[in-house]
Amino acid sequence: MNSKKTDWFCDARFGMFIHWGLYAIPGQGEWYMSFDRVNAKDYEKYFNEFNPQEFDPRQWAQLAKEAGMKYIVLTAKHHDGFCLFDSKYTDYKSTNTKAGKDFIKEYVEAVREAGLKVGIYYSLLDWHHPDYPKYNDMFHPMRENEAYKEDKYDWDNYLNYMHGQVEELCSNYGKLDLLWFDFSYGDMKGEKWKATELMEMVRRLQPEALVNDRLEGGGSSHGSIMEGTPSKIAGDFASPEQCMPTSELCNKKGEPVVWELCTTINDSWGYVPSDRNYKSAEFLIHKLVECVSKSGNLILNVGPDAQGRIPKEQVEALRQIGAWMKMNGESIYGCEGAKLPRPEWGRYTQKENILYAHIMEAPIGPIPITGVAKEQIESIRVLWDGSEAKDASLALGPRKHPETKFITFGNNGNFT
């Protein structure tokens, strides 16, 4: 078997996204500055206030582990431009706040120590940098403010800044497993970012690190990773956002594309205490299974508060997912979609000659193992206790209402 640099990522299947920065203080999400048209000077009041007392990346990493997640990605700089790391290119960084800490340094150390893969998110947009265009930029907080209409920007200066910071992140924090750039839009994409140069630097400094597809794409669009011949800046995986692919993602040649769906537990990335619209743990488990049944990953987000605490509802959801993963993780890690039509009662995932049947909507009566000939089945077992089942219906046992249950199948791995 040829080993690929994406192997660990595809085996992992489940990761933690962390959106954390100054925006945790107003608690209205990481787009607050843009939504409320807050100018950079006014927003700096949060910089003066920022002083997290409960920041404990070991606890974050422990929670991710408990949830069965295998990697973490933290926002080193989001669109607001505030840096959680010590950058020589700016004063707008956490080491200059009351906290006086390089949070990225402590984070990468804690994540590695926990045995998890470590990823860094870096925003291409920057609403604080003086050379990032304001007026008429579709997302900038000052996009409609006439006062900025005649401003001149030294774009190359911004690019040097941005490239310089990426270089720092790739040089000062040891081996990174993943870099998550965010995002391209309108004509702000590809070479506008000097993306080829940027990517060459990343590949040189962090040859093993995976890079997402957003130097060209932006959540709903994927750039050339979806072409048969991806460009040099296409990245290593597609990053659909808050939108589940309808099937396994393939490029125009029909070859599978590595992908990772990013989503939130409530409706927000950054800390928003008023957002009570929480997804249930059961729902999230189903979505994780769905990703794997389509040969993709799920990166699930938490938004710590200004003190650094992950909201208790999010902790609770992750713990419940973790309890399920403890019993059923085998049907997730290293698995991919089965080349079988989706069964009515749930989803299939597969690892070599084992087919995992995730029963999400129990039928009345026996469970039809659709797509598989009876003669091919070697044994049917309940995943969490290994007990044998004569047929799939027996494995279910009595039930009150639909639950997620799992049956494994041993056969030659070829169900067609």
- List residues near ligand JFZ by CB under 6 A: 19, 30-31, 182-183, 185, 218-220, 241, 262, 269
Question: Least separation, in Å, of the C-beta of 146 and ligand JFZ?
Answer: 25
Name the residue among 64, 12, 67 with its Cα closest to residue 320: 67
Which residues pair with residue 298 across a beta bridge?
Answer: 14, 261
Q: With CA atoms as reference, report the closest residue to 67 among 253, 244, 246, 320.
A: 320
Cβ 124 to ligand JFZ, closest distance in Å?
Answer: 10
Residue among 218 and 304 whose Cβ is closer to ligand JFZ: 218
Q: Which is nearer to ligand JFZ, 297 or 328 (CB)?
A: 297
Q: Which is nearer to ligand JFZ, 23 or 60 (CB)?
A: 23
Q: Which alpha helices (DSSP H) does 213-358 contain, by range?
A: 281-293, 312-328
Nearer to ligand JFZ, 30 or 102 (CB): 30
What are the angstrom distances between the C-alpha of 325 and each of 13, 212, 257, 318? 12, 26, 25, 10
Question: How far apart are CB 338 and ligand JFZ at their closest, in Å?
Answer: 29
Residue nearest to ligand JFZ (CB): 218
Count Cβ atoms below 10 Å from residue 239 Cβ, excluding itself: 23
State which residue, 20 or 356, has the beta carbon closest to ligand JFZ. 20
Taking the CB of residue 28, how many other CB atoms lie within 10 A of it? 19
Closest distance of CB 182 from ligand JFZ, Å: 5
Work out how close the CB of 121 gets to ligand JFZ at its nearest, in angstroms, rounded to a whole number.
7
What is the nearest approach in angstroms of ligand JFZ to the Cβ of residue 94? 18
**Spatial distance between the Cα atoms of 119 and 113, rounded to a whole number of angstroms:** 14
Residue 226 has which token pair?
């979806």
Q: 3-class SS at 164?
A: helix
- Among 136, 133, 171, 137, which Cα is nearest to 152's? 133
For the chain, the helix, strand and coil percentages under 3-state DSSP, each to the nearest 5: 30, 20, 50
Residue 182 or residue 305: which is nearer to ligand JFZ going by CB?
Answer: 182
Rounded to 5°, the CA angle 12-29-159 comes to 75
Nearer to ligand JFZ, 127 or 269 (CB): 269
What minimum distance in Å lies between the beta carbon of 136 and ligand JFZ? Answer: 18
